[in-house]
C-alpha cells in the first residue's frame, strides 16, 4: 500500500537519506526517532506534499514522483491527514472544519455532509460540537476534531503527525485508542508519527525508527523492544548516553 524506494531529500542538510520502507495494506505503522530525524518529512512525502530529490514513493499502486498536480489531487482524495498543529481553520466552526474535505473533494448534498459531520463528531466523543469555534476547545478536543476531519472521507490511507503532542498522559492514551479504533473500523492503512514511544507501541502493528534521516529499524513492536542494536536499545530505554 505504501512503499518508499531509495528516497532522499535535502534542505539545508540531508532530511532523508536512501530510505527504503514498505507498509502493508491494513497495517498501523508507527514511526519514531529523535527530534529532527526526518519523520514529518517522510510523512509529507507519503501525502504527496513533498517530492523526493531521489527515489520513488508509491502509494496505493501509484508512483507519486511521476504524477502531475491533477493526478496528485486525485490521489490525495484517498488520504486523510492530521497535521502536527491540527491545522484547524480559526474562522470556521468545528462543523465547517470537519466538513471541509468533503466539500472540497466531493459534490455530496449539504444534508448528507451535515449527517456525516454529526456521525464523525459523535464517533470522536464530541456530539453537538458543530457550532463551536476552535478557540473554545481544549487541546484534546482539537485533536479529536482533527481526527474527525481526517477520517470523514473514509480514506483508505490515514497519516497522523504527532497526534498527542502537548497532551497529558490520560488524554494521549484516549487519542491513541481513538486512532486505533478508527483505523480498524475503516480497514485503513495508517502511519503514525509520535514522540510518545510507549503510547505508540501500544497500538502499532509495526514500527520504524529514523535517525538523522536514515531508517535504522523496521520491524514488529516485540522486535523493537528486544532489539540489541545500540541506537534502538538506547532510544527504547531512554538512555542519555550513546550514539543518538
**Global pTM value:** 0.91
Question: CB burial class (10 A; 0-12, 13-18, 19+) of residue 175?
Answer: buried
3-state secondary structure of 28: strand
Listed in order, strand segments (DSSP E) in the chain are: 2-10, 14-23, 28-32, 54-59, 62-63, 79-82, 157-161, 189-193, 206-211, 214-220
Closest of 218, 237, 243 to residue 31, by C-alpha: 218
Query: pLDDT by residue (tens digit) across 78-118?
Result: 999 998 877 899 999 999 999 999 898 788 899 999 999 99
Query: pLDDT by residue (tens digit) across 26-61?
Result: 999 999 999 889 999 999 999 999 999 999 999 988
Amino acid at each position: 500500500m505504501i512503499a518508499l524506494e531509495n528516497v532522499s531529500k535535502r534542505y539545508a542538510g540531508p532530511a532523508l537519506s536512501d530510505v527504503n520502507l514498505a507498509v502493508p495494506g491494513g497495517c498501523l505503522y508507527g514511526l519514531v526517532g529523535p527530534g529532527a530525524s526526518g519523520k514529518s518529512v517522510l510523512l509529507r512525502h507519503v501525502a504527496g506534499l513533498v517530492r523526493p530529490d531521489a527515489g520513488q514513493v508509491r502509494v496505493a499502486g501509484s508512483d507519486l514522483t511521476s504524477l502531475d498536480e491533477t493526478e496528485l489531487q486525485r490521489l490525495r482524495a484517498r488520504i486523510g491527514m492530521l497535521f502536527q498543529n491540527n491545522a484547524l481553520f480559526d474562522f470556521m466552526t468545528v462543523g465547517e472544519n470537519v466538513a471541509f474535505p468533503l466539500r472540497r473533494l466531493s459534490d455530496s448534498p449539504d444534508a448528507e455532509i451535515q449527517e456525516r459531520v454529526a456521525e464523525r463528531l459523535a464517533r470522536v466523543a464530541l456530539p453537538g460540537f458543530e457550532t463551536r469555534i476552535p478557540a473554545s476547545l481544549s487541546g484534546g478536543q482539537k485533536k479529536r476534531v482533527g481526527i474527525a476531519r481526517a477520517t470523514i472521507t473514509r480514506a483508505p490511507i490515514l497519516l497522523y503527525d504527532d497526534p498527542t503532542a502537548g497532551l497529558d498522559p490520560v488524554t494521549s492514551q484516549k487519542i491513541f485508542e481513538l486512532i486505533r479504533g478508527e483505523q480498524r473500523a475503516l480497514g485503513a492503512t495508517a502511519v503514525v508519527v509520535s514522540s510518545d514511544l510507549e503510547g505508540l507501541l501500544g497500538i502499532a502493528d509495526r514500527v520504524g525508527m529514523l535517525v538523522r534521516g536514515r531508517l535504522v529499524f523496521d520491524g514488529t513492536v516485540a522486535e523493537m523492544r528486544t532489539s540489541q542494536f545500540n541506537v534502538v536499545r538506547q532510544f527504547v530505554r531512554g538512555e542519555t548516553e550513546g550514539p543518538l
